[in-house]
Structure 1
Amino acid sequence: MSELTIKLPSTVNHSVTDIYNYTNVKISLPDRCPLCDEMQTPIFITSSGLEDGDYKFSIILECNKCRQHFLQHYKFNGASFSRMGIKTRYADQINFEYQFNNSGFNDEIASCSQKFVNIKHQLDIAEKMNLDELLKFGYRKAIEQLVWDYLKTYQEKSEKNLQSKSLPERIKLLNIPENNWISDLIAWVGNDGAHPYQRNQELTIIDMKNLSNLLVSQIQNLIQQHKYMEYHSKNK
Structure 2
Amino acid sequence: MQTSIYAQNINPYSTTSEINFSLELPTKCPCCGTTYSRIPEYSNFFENSSGTITANSTYFCPTCGNCFFIVYSVEKLHHDLFGFPLVQYPTPSETTSFSKEISMLTPKFIEIYQQAEKAENSGLTELCGIGYRKALEFLVKDYAISNHPNSKEQIESFMLGKCITDYIDNEKIKTLAKASAWLGNDETHYVRKHQNYNVQDLKRFIKATVAYIEYELSFTEAFDLLKNPQ
Q: Please report the TM-score for the alignment, with normalisation by the length of structure 2.
A: 0.53
The amino acid across from 1:213 in the alignment is: K
C-alpha distance in 2, partners of 1:142/1:201? 22
1:160 and 2:153 are equivalent in the alignment: yes
The amino acid across from 1:193 in the alignment is: E
Contact 2:140–2:177 (Cα < 8 Å) also in 1: no
The amino acid across from 1:130 in the alignment is: G
C-alpha distance in 1, partners of 2:220/2:150? 15
Specify every segment of 5 or more residues in structure 1 that has no aligned partner in the other structure, as ranges. 1-97
Match runs of 1:80-229 below 5 Å: 104-172=97-165, 173-179=167-173, 181-229=175-223
The amino acid across from 1:194 in the alignment is: T
Specify every segment of 5 or more residues in structure 2 that has no aligned partner in the other structure, as ranges. 1-91
- Note the C-alpha offset of 1:155: 3.3
The Cα RMSD (Å) is 2.5
Q: How many residues are matched?
A: 138
Q: Which residue of 2 aligns with 1:231?
A: 225
C-alpha distance in 2, partners of 1:112/1:140? 18
Q: Please report the TM-score for the alignment, with normalisation by the length of structure 1.
A: 0.52
Q: Map Cα deviations across residues 15-63 of structure 1 (whole Å, 9 max, x no partner).
A: xxxxxxxxxxxxxxxxxxxxxxxxxxxxxxxxxxxxxxxxxxxxxxxxx
Any runs of at least 4 consecutive aligned residues in structure 1 with deviations exceeding 4 A, and if so which?
98-101
Counterpart secondary structure, 2:219: helix
Change (3 A) 1:214 1:157: farther
Question: Which structure's CA Rg is the greater one?
Answer: 1
Change (3 A) 1:99 1:130: closer
